[in-house]
């Protein structure tokens, strides 16, 4: 039996991670946030978190990984067990501090329960590409725009806003916020052509100082298609900081659309 538990959120990342591992982990999911195309072994609620942690301990779990999208759940005070109730002030205070603070609090609770938190890049490094130009040819304009985009994304991440932006000819056309990547890329189609330079790139990176064991940015084939439909020329990301779902398909889609892919 595996000693690794995967706390799976919504989307395709949990299934991709399980497929990349040599042994299937115990797959757990927060109630209401089921992963795509992956069977779940254990569903849990935040209100019963202490009991869930004890279940993992009893099952011989020593390592825990997090993958997939989860939003802040609505809590039902009537469901709290006594031990979890003691954690509530800590969790609520962290939630007031933003996503990063919340994730740090969650990691701390699992670590205090004796679990080693492991990141995707350590257990499935094939999902986090190293530096390379994967399709297309770099140009001075793309390199310049990537430098500008990296500065903008670092500033966004420092105030816990987002992990990406769009830059064309040095101009920032959009930034990633709560609605996410898809909404940001779709918004580009609303910019009048007279205000928008041709081409441009979508840039993605982890937040400065982010604990890279959890909530790494993710790209996939759908991102490639959406970027091309939005009229962009490239997708660039910080090498070693971004998960790529189905990289071969990402490359195929990018080549078909003349899109540059660069792990910078």
Contact 176, 165 (CB under 8 A): yes
Q: Examine the pLDDT at 114 and tell me if it is beyond 90.
A: yes
Indicate whether this model's pTM tops 0.85: yes
Query: What does the pLDDT average to over 182-190?
Result: 96
Is 175 in contact with 162 (CB distance < 8 Å)? yes
CATH of 4-123, one of 3.40.50.720, 3.90.226.10, 3.40.50.2300, 3.40.50.20: 3.40.50.20
Tokens (6 digits) for 130: 């190293």
Q: Per residue in 28-83, pLDDT tens?
A: 999 988 999 999 999 999 899 999 999 999 999 999 999 998 877 777 888 888 99
- Domain boundaries, given as residue ranges, for the chain: 4-123, 128-263
What is the phi/psi pair of residue 154, to 5°?
A: -65, -40
- At 159, is the secondary structure helix, strand, or coil? coil
Residue-wise pLDDT for 148-163, tens only, equals: 999 999 999 988 899 9
Give dist(CA 88, CA 28) in Å, integer.
Answer: 21
Quick check: 152 and 167 in contact, CB under 8 A?
yes
Per-residue confidence (pLDDT) for residue 1, from 0 to 100: 62
Q: Does domain 128-263 have CATH number 3.40.140.80?
A: yes
Rounded Cα distance between 25 and 10, Å, is 17
How big, in percent rounded to 5, are the helix, strand and coil portions of the chain?
A: 40, 20, 35
The Cα 48–Cα 77 span in angstroms is 11
């Amino acid at each position: 039996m595996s000693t690794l538990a995967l706390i799976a959120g919504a989307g395709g990342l949990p299934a991709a991670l399980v497929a990349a591992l040599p042994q299937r982990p115990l797959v757990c999911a927060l109630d209401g946030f089921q992963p795509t195309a992956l069977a779940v072994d254990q569903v849990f609620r935040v209100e019963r978190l202490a009991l869930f942690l004890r279940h993992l301990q009893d099952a011989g779990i020593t390592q825990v990984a997090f993958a997939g999208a989860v939003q802040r759940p609505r809590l039902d005070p009537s469901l709290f067990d006594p031990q979890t109730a003691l954690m509530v002030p800590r969790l609520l205070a962290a939630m007031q501090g933003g996503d990063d603070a919340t994730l740090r609090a969650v990691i701390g609770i699992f670590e205090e329960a004796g679990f080693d938190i492991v990141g995707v890049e350590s257990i499935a490094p094939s999902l986090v590409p190293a530096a390379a130009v994967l399709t297309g040819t770099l140009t001075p304009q793309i390199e310049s725009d990537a430098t500008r985009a990296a500065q903008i994304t670092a500033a966004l991440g420092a105030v816990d806003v987002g992990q990406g932006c769009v830059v064309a000819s040095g101009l920032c056309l959009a930034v990633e916020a709560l609605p996410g990547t898809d909404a940001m890329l779709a918004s580009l189609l609303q910019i009048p052509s007279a205000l928008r330079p041709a081409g441009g790139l979508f840039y993605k990176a982890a937040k400065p100082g982010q604990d890279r064991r959890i909530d790494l940015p993710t790209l996939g084939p759908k991102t490639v298609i959406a970027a091309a439909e939005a009229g962009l020329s490239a997708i660039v990301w910080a090498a070693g900081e971004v998960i790529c779902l189905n990289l071969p398909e990402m490359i195929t889609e990018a080549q078909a659309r003349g899109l540059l892919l660069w792990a910078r």
